[in-house]
Amino acid sequence: MSFAPCAVMGNVADDDRSKLSTTERAAVAAAVAATVTVVLLRCQMVHSAGRLKTQLRARRMKVMQPLPAAGLDTAAICDAVFQVCCSMGCGGMPRTTPRWWVKRRTGGAWEDLRPADDATEECFCDKLRMSPRVFREITENLSPFLQRRVTFYREPLQPDHSVAYALYRWASGETYKSSTCNFGIGRATGVVAVWDVTAALLAVYREKVSWPTRVRKAVVLRAFTNKGFPNCHGCIDCTHIYINKPANGPGEDYFDRKRRFSVVAQVLVDLDLRVLDVFVGYLGSCHDVRVIHLSSLWARAEVGELFTGPPVMLPFQVQTSGYLLGDYGYPSSEWIVVPYGETSQHSSELWFHNKQKTARGAVERAFGRLKGMWRLFLRSHKTNMETLPQQFVAVCILHNILIDVGIPFDDNFLWEVDTNGVQRRVDLGIQRPSGPPVCMDSSTPNWRGCVDSEGCVGGADECPLMKAGGRCPRRPARQVDDASYESGRVGSGEDSTSECFVLASLCRHVESQMEFAVLRRSVVR
């Protein structure tokens, strides 16, 4: 009996705690209502998406069926377009637009070159150095090497976009940061595009830079013959491509005569300025002699694989299979004709020097056209020897293509304005070695040339050519007096061309091989 009041009092306390206030009841009711609403909306969305997918599937099957001959159902087509838009909105189809985290591409200079923007031929020549027709032909040939697979992510660059960017970078000389902004692409994409286009050009147009054969060879030989050098195959010289100081390599190896860091490019051209052979990549401190000794051109010439045509017999029993014109930096050999020095030249030597320099000027004009149009190789590059030589060869290929199609060269490309606002000629990277003091007056005065039909002055025992077991190629058919010799009227007037070759090639070659002076006086008009 004593515990009953306590039990009654505990029950009353539990009932009081189980009761909710008005505010709590309202909050619970609102939460329940919100939960029910969310569940209902979600169910409706799922139901609507399923119904749209079903309708879209049925619509696709209907559209795939052949339409009646009466014509198209415009209302049905509009309805199908509406259904496709709804399906894309609810996630029924994969995205065709990039994700939010993909960087958007802008237009820039590429939009100015697209046919839809009515790009003019002048605009193409200014930005890409070629006409729209040539650009389309190159793009069509390179497309198999540049086409990329389309995925659900961002659409890859089209071949024409990649080719246009590579040409623009080579022509403008801009950095990757600046040029990629003009084309609305990222820097990494631009680097890959340039490398892809370079590899494609080397694969498709490799024959554009090659030794001339057949008809082309005949055209080259005829052009040099008209200039006074029969059976000459080209002019050779070196240019320097400037680079930044190597970070992890010996910088002194790249330090050239102009006290700049560079790599050497050896180029062989004809009188039409077409590149016949290119050898690029050696250190800027290398001399021209070392570069040509390391090139395949020297090896082919020494074994007789370079000049494969039939030998040509020049006057005075001089026989040659071919030769090149070079400057002072090249050695005297049977197939390289170099000029005399600049010191105290005889009148006949000066005449030959001017003729040789005029013909050899083709290689300097070729460098001007090559670097003037593709200005990337006028500025300094980062030391990346994996891509720089290949890019230079690719530009040489483009150089020949533009010559073949007749694209003219604007001489204004050879001039630029410096930081002080002064217009100056661009630096083509041609570094002239100092000429040796070789002249007629500085050599042995007794060597006056051939004076009788039996051989040279002093007989066969003193003539280096006769000692070598050959016939003196400078023996004229008549006796030569001092007056005719000093006036430069020795020999037939029409054969001065071949006699220039005798002077520069055979005599200089015998001098280098037998290590003493030989006939210095030329037999030219």
Q: Which two tokens stand for residue 523?
A: 């037999």
CB contact at 8 A, 98 and 153: yes
CB contact at 8 A, 236 and 301: no
Dist CA 408 CA 125 (whole Å): 10
Dist CA 94 CA 377 (whole Å): 46
The pLDDT of residue 482: 36
Q: Which two tokens stand for residue 86?
A: 């709804």
DSSP state of 412: G
The pLDDT of residue 182: 84
Nearest to 500 by CA among 511, 512, 488: 488
Q: Which two tokens stand for residue 329?
A: 């930096």
pTM equals: 0.64
The pLDDT of residue 44: 84
- Domain spans of the chain, in order of start: 35-61+77-97, 109-204, 214-425, 450-514
Beta bridge partners, 324, equal 234, 336
Beta bridge partners, 323, equal 232
Angle between helices 22-64 and 74-89 (to 10 degrees): 140
Q: What string of pLDDT tens digits covers the 525 residues of the chain?
A: 444 444 444 444 455 555 778 888 888 888 888 888 888 888 888 888 888 888 888 877 776 665 554 444 555 556 666 666 665 555 445 445 444 445 544 556 666 676 544 457 787 888 899 999 999 999 999 999 998 776 666 677 889 999 999 999 999 988 898 888 888 888 999 999 999 999 999 999 999 999 998 899 999 999 999 988 889 999 999 999 999 888 777 778 888 888 889 999 999 999 999 999 999 988 888 889 999 999 999 999 989 899 988 888 876 677 888 999 998 888 878 899 888 766 556 777 788 888 888 999 999 999 999 999 999 998 887 767 788 999 999 999 999 999 999 999 988 888 877 777 777 788 787 766 544 433 333 322 232 233 233 333 333 444 443 444 443 333 333 333 333 323 333 333 333 443 444 344 444 443 443 332 332 233 233
The pLDDT of residue 458: 36
What lies within 8 Å, CB to CB, of 512 at 6+ separation is 331, 332, 333
Rg (CA), the chain: 40
Q: Which two tokens stand for residue 256?
A: 């050239």
**DSSP secondary structure string for all residues of 126-194:** HHHSS-HHHHHHHHHHHHHHH-----SSSPPPPHHHHHHHHHHHHHH---HHHHHHHHT--HHHHHHHH
Query: What values do phi and psi take at 423, rounded to 5?
Result: -80, 130
Beta bridge partners, 278, equal 267
The pLDDT of residue 152: 63
The per-type count for the chain, helices as H runs and strands as E runs, is: 18, 11
> What is the CA 49 to chain-centroid distance, rounded?
55
CB contact at 8 A, 498 and 315: yes
Q: Which two tokens stand for residue 227?
A: 């200039």
The pLDDT of residue 111: 66
Q: Is the dihedral of CA 18, 19, 20, 21 positive or negative?
A: negative
The pLDDT of residue 58: 82
* Owner of token pair 């005829």: 222
Dist CA 479 CA 378 (whole Å): 55
Q: Is 93 left (phi over 0), alpha (psi -120 to 50) or beta?
A: beta
Distances in Å between the alpha carbon of 408 and those of 128, 216, 341? Answer: 13, 21, 35
Q: What is the dihedral of CA 77, 80, 85, 90, to 10 degrees?
A: 180
The pLDDT of residue 394: 96
DSSP state of 457: T
